[in-house]
């Protein structure tokens, strides 16, 4: 966004909470952290030169390589001088008389700007559960979203709470060095092998030569990935053929497994065929039948929650130094000075790792105490769940754009694809305003209400809302409204809607 604004001749300042660029990848340094999209389509496409000169080393880049890439981009386009690091927003309020946003930081600094563009990410507000006795624990406490730069668990008794995407990535590596690793699982999860490997030079060269077609395909697909979903129902083929397709998808690995059939997320019976296949794989991999059965998801279908990819996750439970605790059977009651107690036993631990995810999508925005003219807060506006127009603006909050905000595809698609589409759309809207000497843009309440209906209807056409424990619904945060937050109609369809709105001179937005 900063690059585009400067290219337009506009001045901008980026407030960054971390001590360097990278956002999620600055903070998420836990063992095993890596992107779940293949490296070459994780990268930015706005610069052909950038695409051709950067070479990824692995099929799935690790956090350190991604951070190096983001620093490279920052320096290549001389953006660092426009970023104020180690600066957190304490509050922002719109001044309707001056048509400006007044932004306060926790350090006491103040900024004024005509536009407030929130690029805080969907998964950046860590969820640390409130467990009785946590303050008593004498050992190390870590959260995967704010991993310490120097920590060692070698030979220690380590407990990991959480088996979502981050837990599934971290657990195999933590098990290698821990004296004993105890995994506390609330919800069993499906996971697909990443099949990560180094990228050969000829493979990278072929990708670079094909970038125009790759990017065009990304923008035309449901998930913003450069591959299409098979246009066939899982129920239209024989069991033997379906099994063969799933076996091939399992061998290939990656999130492409979701593309095996077109109706895996729209038809419960079709979804069950994939879910059953993956359950059988867990039972095959995990040697202890009781542990395997605890790891088999039974309360939701495949990909109705965020589907992780992994490297040797289920295999890790075959190690003699790893124990699984099923919190559905024995919930945590408290943390003690020397460990953690469940309803059935006490576990002595030297360290506890919270892999408990995030207050997704709304948390990062609400933490900034954003208020419109007169002091009405975004938190109050979203008390019953987030509403927006296109996930880009909230009615009543003029000149504020929410990059990958609630109501946009965001976490359901390849994030760089979603981010770039929002950057382009916002930039074009600002150019439209400048050409007509408009000072203020604001989504109408009518457009916002219609889009809320569209978001709900798109979700209801899928099985996504059926996973009651999903953070897509805010279910991981006590007291958070249960509202399906992202737009589930697909990236390509969403981009067409956005383009249609702008072609109609930003219908649904009001200018003055």
**Structure confidence at residue 183 (pLDDT):** 98
Q: Which whole number is the average pLDDT over 377-390? A: 97
**Structure confidence at residue 149 (pLDDT):** 86
The proportion of the chain whose per-residue pLDDT surpasses 90, expressed as a percent, equals 97
Predicted confidence band of residue 150 (pLDDT cuts 50, 70, 90): confident
**Structure confidence at residue 13 (pLDDT):** 96
pLDDT in tens, 308-355: 999 999 999 999 999 999 999 999 999 999 999 999 999 999 999 999
Give residue for tokens 């990958």: 404
Helix 491-503 with 211-220: angle, nearest 10 deg: 80
The DSSP code for 451 is H
**Structure confidence at residue 41 (pLDDT):** 83
Predicted confidence band of residue 174 (pLDDT cuts 50, 70, 90): very high
Contacts of 176 (CB under 8 A, 6+ apart): none
Give residue for tokens 């999130």: 255
SS3 49: helix
Report CA torsion sign: 171, 175, 178, 180. Answer: positive
Predicted confidence band of residue 62 (pLDDT cuts 50, 70, 90): very high
pLDDT in tens, 415-465: 999 999 999 999 999 999 999 999 999 999 999 999 999 999 999 999 999
Give residue for tokens 């992107």: 35
Rg (CA), the chain: 23
**Structure confidence at residue 367 (pLDDT):** 96
Closest CA to 332 of 478, 186, 144: 186
Predicted confidence band of residue 42 (pLDDT cuts 50, 70, 90): confident
Report CA torsion sign: 389, 467, 478, 223. Answer: negative
Closest CA to 72 of 6, 1, 21, 120: 21
pLDDT(480) > 90 = yes
The DSSP code for 58 is B
């Amino acid at each position: 966004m900063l690059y585009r604004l400067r290219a337009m001749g506009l001045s901008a300042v980026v407030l960054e909470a971390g001590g360097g660029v990278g956002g999620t990848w600055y903070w998420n340094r836990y063992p095993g952290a890596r992107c779940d999209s293949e490296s070459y389509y994780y990268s930015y496409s706005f610069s052909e030169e950038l695409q051709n000169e950067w070479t990824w080393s692995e099929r799935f880049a690790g956090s350190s390589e991604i951070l190096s890439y983001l620093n490279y981009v920052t320096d290549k386009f001389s953006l660092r001088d426009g970023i104020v690091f180690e600066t957190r927003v304490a509050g922002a309020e719109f001044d309707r008389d001056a048509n400006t946003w007044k932004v306060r930081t926790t350090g006491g600094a103040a900024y004024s700007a005509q536009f407030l563009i929130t690029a805080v990410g969907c998964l950046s507000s860590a969820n640390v559960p409130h467990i009785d006795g946590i303050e008593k624990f004498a050992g190390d406490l870590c959260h995967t979203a704010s991993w310490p730069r120097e920590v060692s668990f070698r030979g220690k008794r380590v407990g990991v709470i959480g088996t979502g995407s981050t837990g599934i990535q971290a657990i195999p590596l933590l098990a290698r060095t821990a004296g004993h690793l105890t995994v506390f699982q609330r919800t069993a999860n499906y996971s697909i092998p990443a099949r990560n490997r180094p990228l050969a030079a000829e493979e990278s060269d072929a990708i670079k030569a094909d970038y125009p077609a790759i990017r065009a395909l990304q923008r035309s697909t449901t998930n913003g990935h450069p591959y299409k979903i098979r246009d066939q129902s899982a129920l239209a083929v024989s069991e033997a053929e379906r099994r063969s397709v799933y076996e091939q998808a399992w061998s290939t690995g990656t999130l492409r497994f979701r593309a095996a059939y077109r109706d895996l997320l729209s038809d419960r019976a079709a979804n069950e065929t994939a879910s059953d296949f993956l359950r059988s794989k867990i039972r095959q991999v995990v040697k202890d039948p009781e542990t395997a059965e605890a790891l088999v998801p039974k309360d939701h279908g495949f990909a109705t929650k965020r589907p992780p990819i992994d490297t040797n996750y289920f295999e890790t439970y075959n190690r003699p130094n790893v124990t699984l605790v099923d919190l559905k059977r024995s919930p945590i009651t408290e943390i003690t000075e020397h460990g953690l107690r469940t309803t059935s036993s006490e576990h002595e631990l030297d360290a506890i790792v919270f892999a408990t995810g995030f207050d997704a999508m709304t948390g990062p925005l609400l933490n900034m105490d954003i208020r419109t003219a007169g002091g009405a807060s975004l938190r109050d506006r979203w008390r019953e769940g987030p509403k927006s127009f296109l996930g880009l603006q909230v009615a009543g909050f003029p000149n504020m754009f929410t990059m990958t905000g609630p109501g946009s595809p965001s976490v359901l698609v390849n994030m760089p694809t979603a981010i770039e589409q929002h950057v382009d759309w916002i930039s074009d809207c600002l150019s439209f305003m400048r050409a007509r000497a408009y000072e203020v843009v604001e989504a109408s309440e009518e457009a916002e209400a219609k889009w809320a209906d569209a978001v709900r209807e798109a979700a209801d056409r899928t099985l996504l809302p059926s996973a009651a424990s999903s953070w897509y619904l805010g279910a991981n945060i006590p007291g958070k409204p249960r509202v399906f937050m992202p737009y589930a109609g697909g990236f390509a369809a969403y981009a067409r809607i956005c383009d249609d709105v702008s072609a109609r001179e930003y219908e649904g937005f009001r200018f003055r």
